[in-house]
Amino acid sequence: MGWYNKRLAKSIWVFHVSASPCNNCDIEILDLLTPYYDIERFGIKLVGSIRHADVLLLSGIVNQKVGPMVQRIYQQAPKPVFVVGVGTCPSSGCCFNDSYNISQNREEFIPIDLYIPGCPPKPEAMIEGVVKLVEVLNG
Partner 1 sequence: MKVEYLFYLLVFPGLLFTGVVGLLVGWVDRKVSARFQYRVGPPLFQNFNDFFKLLGKETMIVKQSVHWLFIAAPLVAFAALVLLSTMIGSALFYQQNIGGGLIVVMYLLMVSSVMIILGGSSTGNVYSSIGAAREIKLLLADELVFIFVCLIPIIKSGYQIDLVQIAGIQESGGAFIRATSGIIGFILGILCIQAKMTLPPFHIPEAETELVEGPLMEYSGPPLAFWKLNHFMMWVVYPFLLVLLYLGGFKSEGLGILWFVLKYLAIVVVMIIIKNTNPRIRIDTALHFFWKILTPLGIIALILSVLGA
Query: Binding residues for partner 1, per CB under 8 A?
Result: 4, 7-8, 10-11, 35, 38, 40-41, 43, 47-49, 51-52, 54, 76, 78-80
Reported as type and span, the H/E element at residue 46 is strand 45-46
Residue whose CB is less far from partner 1, 68 or 78: 78
How far apart are CB 51 and partner 1 at their closest, in Å? 4
DSSP 84: E
Query: Counting every residue, how long is the chain?
Result: 139
Nearer to partner 1, 42 or 96 (CB): 42
| Residues 6 or more apart whose Cβ sits within 8 Å of residue 45 | 11, 12, 13, 14
Give least dist CB 124 to partner 1, A: 16
Query: Is 98 exposed, middle or buried, given 0-12, 13-18 or 19+ CB atoms closer than 10 A?
Result: exposed
**Nearest residue (CB) to partner 1, 41 versus 100:** 41
Least distance from C-beta 50 to partner 1, angstroms?
9
